Amino acid sequence: MVSNIWVEFAFTAMSTLLMVELNNRNALMRTYSRMVSCSFLALMTMAGLPQLSLKSSIVTMCFIAFYLIIWNCYQDKRSTGWTFYAFACIGLASMVFVQIGYFMPILWIMMMVFTLSFSVKTFFASLVGLIVPYWFAAGYFFYTDNIQGLADHFCEFINYSELFDYSQVTDHQVLNLSFVTLLTIIGSIHFIRTSYGDKIRTRMIYETFIMISVACIIFIVLQPQHIQELGGILIVNTAPLIAHFITFTRGKFTNISFILLLIMLVLIMAYNILVPESILL
């Protein structure tokens, strides 16, 4: 248990540093602020206690790395190199969570509409990046004479027998998801109303966050057994949205809202730590 905690700490620390770099490199905030990384760290801590998930941590870190790389392709339809590296991160995440492949059509739409980098070359670069981790994994499976293990891994991608299966969902997971979804709604509405103050490129990034957040929530409803992995991706997209709300809102109502959200966060963390998990259904 102790070793797992330190592994989780290492992944969370690395993911937080990547969020700092994502914020700095893309100027997500119009002013100097660390609210993006702070919001991410707070939500990850809340969602990660007390049950630890190494798969979720790996998927979360890889998705942040994807964002960090893919925005180097902005308005460049010849950026095959950056596209390859970005989707290699998705490929790495799929090694532990193959269902992340369902995001591929959405990520291609993102390239068409938001990064404005989609072309025939970048499309094939994304495919090569996605499968390149399996070139090495296939060699390992062949060496260990475990080809069936590789086949079983891909079979999970088309396993629809557990759609709408809420038999494994716990009260902690529902509480965490409800709070993060609330933050997503608040942050999305706020940004849509105030996006005129940001540069076009920044708007594109935040609109990507909103689109991926909606997709995550839909996927969680469809396959709730993957709530931890999808919840990590949702937090990656929600953190900048709620950080934008906290940083750029003024007035008595918004100040009270911030205090209430902070109190809710602390109470949920306390509930997760002190109250044992129970299956809802």
Q: What is the pLDDT of residues 32-50, one digit of tens each?
A: 889 999 999 999 999 887 6
Residue 126 counted as domain residue: yes
Count of domains for the chain: 1
pLDDT of 5 > 70? The answer is yes
Residue 7 counted as domain residue: yes
* Burial label, 19 (beta-carbon count in 10 A; 0-12, 13-18, 19+): buried
Q: What is the mean pLDDT of residues 198-215?
A: 96
Q: Which residue has the tokens 């994807």?
A: 66
Q: Is 279 helix (H, G, I), strand (E, B) or coil?
A: strand
Residue 190 counted as domain residue: yes
pLDDT tens track for 110-160 = 999 999 999 999 999 999 999 999 998 888 888 888 888 888 888 888 887
Q: Is 110 helix (H, G, I), strand (E, B) or coil?
A: helix
Write the CB contacts of 29 (distance below 8 Å, at least 6 apart in sequence): 23, 35, 36, 243, 244, 247
Give the integer Cα–Cα distance in Å for 175 and 225: 15
Residue 279 counted as domain residue: no
Vertex 17 angle, CA 46 and 4, to 5°: 50
**What domain range is 263 assigned to?**
2-274
Residue 163 counted as domain residue: yes
Average pLDDT taken over every residue of the chain: 92
Residue 281 counted as domain residue: no
What is the pTM for the complete model shown? Answer: 0.95
Q: What is the mean pLDDT of residues 224-245?
A: 95
Residue 144 counted as domain residue: yes
Q: Are 130 and 92 in contact (CB under 8 A)?
A: no
Residue 280 counted as domain residue: no
pLDDT of 2 > 70? The answer is no
Composition of the chain by helix, strand, coil, percent to 5: 80, 0, 20
